[in-house]
Chains A and B, each alone.
Chain A
């Protein structure tokens, strides 16, 4: 594997959801959930997609695993030294592709089938992909359960989800994701439902597995503090657009986009001595329904000027050392 080639490359990805479609009447308004998103992830590196609800981060994740088809744009994945256009795959091509890409969902209470044992759940991807025989699968499941800390595996294999705690369920979900050795894992808020003491250990487990199994993560979260621990690079999304992207510590310490600055200043700090200087921004997140051709953040931006509404949404520009910002005023 050459480290210079990105594992995933996303180019101008768009997903519009029609709003008022009728049986014979074409839709006239669309939610621009993901609107021209481009990024790349190098093998073994993790990217965090951060944003508030409605920013399009989950939709982006679903487009990457082909749970949704994009309106336009492309996703390229580097498999066996060739770039495969994921968005053009059909039928068996999708199944083959899913050997390499898996997703972890937010809610371990909903993402596991309550009627299936841990073994059934974890072995399912092997079954779907037709990998190994029963004996091999049992061995592999046991190996994964041990890896995610559900030890001894024999005591967990034939339990049902209701017999497990939230943290244990999320470990089962992680084991299922990793059982077929995927290259890319899309983790959609995997720790947001967990308690603090359990959350830290699941985060640590995911980091350890990334190193151990060379997994590349796309980590989707609303929590900047969690993103800081789980990613090398960070992309901040706002209403379907990436507004800032760069090295995680760099973005957190030197945010340049006014939205990132406002978001960071609003994060509560676990230290009573710390005095924050809040940045006032107006209103809440709106819905990107037929957005006007201007900066998406215009209405709430403290720096808004004429240039921001005369022109379309600014494109991401490199401000040095791979720190990209989409703002006319930054």
Chain B
């Protein structure tokens, strides 16, 4: 039985804005076991990136974790201050950022940026060992080590994203959080990168949280999948169950709105309306204004996130059992 490495309990996080508090993450709970790959999927503004940033405690000044716990091997990250948090970042939890263009500093050589991470988080780190480690990391992510002393602008988009992955892997983290790492890339480059990431994850035995809006990419990358909507985790189950026995009406709608190049060409289902404004979220279940099965209860009471058997969690008053 693999051990739980990360346990998130009732995490609630909001941003203080001039217009009021925006609850971007609302009562989210999940666990991550060793070596597991968990996918978080949802549309823009659903809070998936805010969850990732909360786990690393890399939050802007106007963000507050209101309640909940983030337990990494039993240590709660929530009450830790910057200095107390620093030892965990990069050594235990590292992040592969979304925009490869901005994740690297354009005026430093790629090798120096990785060496800086090594020296900061694993000090003291002898310089020639560090260079050797960079070369090793380059080979791991499929880059030519001879290119390590080049600048980011000399790399193509795919190479830059590989360098960002190398940077995240530098300190051998237990958990890697990948936030839309392939969104800006062409399909063929995306495909080779995804397969490399999978191979690396299996080889190193690290856990991964993979965040994307792309259901197809999530399907390929995850053992378990969490579906987010308007700051809430609405369903969490194995990839197989999310795709073939989804219970939440939003998950079902999302699945049938997604075009595929394989299989029969079935009509795409559309979802009425738009995601809610988080400054003034709907009462009860946040999905009720767009839900086909909404009842009075959905309008009044927030459904609890509970296990429907075998670790298939769903927050819905009327879970649907549809086989896709």
Q: Does A146 contact B (CB under 8 A)?
A: no
Q: Does B253 contact A (CB under 8 A)?
A: yes
Q: Does A53 contact B (CB under 8 A)?
A: yes
A284-B274 contact, Cβ under 8 Å, with A264-B261, A271-B260: no
Q: Does A232 contact B (CB under 8 A)?
A: no
Nearest to B43 among chain A residues (CB) is A195
Nearest to B268 among chain A residues (CB) is A200
| Number of A residues, CB within 8 Å of B | 40
The CA-CA distance from A199 to B275 in the complex, in Å, is 13
Q: Does A79 contact B (CB under 8 A)?
A: no
Taking CB atoms and an 8 Å cut-off, the chain A residues in 249-270 that contact chain B are: 249, 252, 262-270
Taking CB atoms and an 8 Å cut-off, the chain A residues in 271-287 that contact chain B are: 271-274, 278, 281, 284-285
Q: Does B214 contact A (CB under 8 A)?
A: yes
CB within 8 A of B214: which of A224, A268, A278?
A: A268
Taking CB atoms and an 8 Å cut-off, the chain A residues in 20-45 that contact chain B are: none
Nearest to A195 among chain B residues (CB) is B43
Q: Say how far B246's CB is from chain A's closest CB, in angstroms.
A: 12
CB within 8 A of A268: which of B44, B191, B257?
A: B191
Q: Please tell me if the beta carbons of B268 and A229 are within 8 angstroms of each other in the complex.
A: yes
Interface contact tally, CB-CB below 8 A? 119
CB within 8 A of B219: which of A226, A263, A272, A284?
A: A272
Q: Does A203 contact B (CB under 8 A)?
A: yes
Taking CB atoms and an 8 Å cut-off, the chain B residues in 222-267 that contact chain A are: 222, 239-240, 243-244, 253-255, 257-263, 265
Q: Does B129 contact A (CB under 8 A)?
A: no
Q: Please tell me if the beta carbons of A270 and B271 are within 8 angstroms of each other in the complex.
A: no
Q: Please tell me if the beta carbons of A268 and B219 are within 8 angstroms of each other in the complex.
A: yes
CB within 8 A of A228: which of B239, B244, B261, B269?
A: B261
Q: Please tell me if the beta carbons of A196 and B258 are within 8 angstroms of each other in the complex.
A: yes
CB within 8 A of A226: which of B239, B255, B259, B274?
A: B259
Q: Please tell me if the beta carbons of A272 and B265 are within 8 angstroms of each other in the complex.
A: no
- On chain B, the residues within 8 Å of A285 by CB distance are 186
Q: Does A198 contact B (CB under 8 A)?
A: yes
Interface string of B173-199 (1 = CB under 8 A from A): 000000000000011111110110000
Q: Please tell me if the beta carbons of A197 and B216 are within 8 angstroms of each other in the complex.
A: no
Q: Say how far B97's CB is from chain A's closest CB, in angstroms.
A: 20
Taking CB atoms and an 8 Å cut-off, the chain A residues in 162-218 that contact chain B are: 165, 167-168, 195-201, 203-204
Q: Does A222 contact B (CB under 8 A)?
A: yes
Q: Say how far A264's CB is from chain B's closest CB, in angstroms.
A: 6
A200-B271 contact, Cβ under 8 Å, with A268-B191, A270-B215: yes
CB within 8 A of B195: which of A223, A228, A278?
A: A278
Q: Say how far B40's CB is from chain A's closest CB, in angstroms.
A: 14
Q: Does A225 contact B (CB under 8 A)?
A: yes
A267-B216 contact, Cβ under 8 Å, with A52-B188, A197-B257, A252-B261: yes
A196-B190 contact, Cβ under 8 Å, with A225-B259, A264-B261, A270-B258: no
Taking CB atoms and an 8 Å cut-off, the chain A residues in 130-167 that contact chain B are: 165, 167
Which A-B residue pairs are the 8 nearest by beta carbons? Answer: A266-B191, A268-B216, A200-B257, A195-B43, A225-B259, A197-B271, A201-B270, A272-B239
Could you list which residues of chain A lie within 8 angstroms of chain B, going by C-beta atoms? 52-53, 165, 167-168, 195-201, 203-204, 222-226, 228-229, 249, 252, 262-274, 278, 281, 284-285
Known: A168-B274, A278-B195. 20 other contacts (CB 8 A): A197-B271, A200-B258, A200-B259, A204-B270, A222-B187, A224-B187, A228-B265, A229-B265, A229-B268, A263-B188, A266-B187, A266-B188, A270-B216, A271-B219, A271-B243, A271-B262, A272-B219, A273-B243, A281-B188, A284-B186
Chosen A-B contacts, 21 in total, with CB atoms closer than 8 Å, are A53-B186, A196-B257, A204-B270, A224-B261, A225-B259, A228-B261, A264-B261, A266-B188, A266-B192, A268-B191, A268-B217, A269-B220, A270-B216, A270-B219, A271-B243, A271-B260, A272-B220, A274-B219, A274-B262, A284-B156, A285-B186
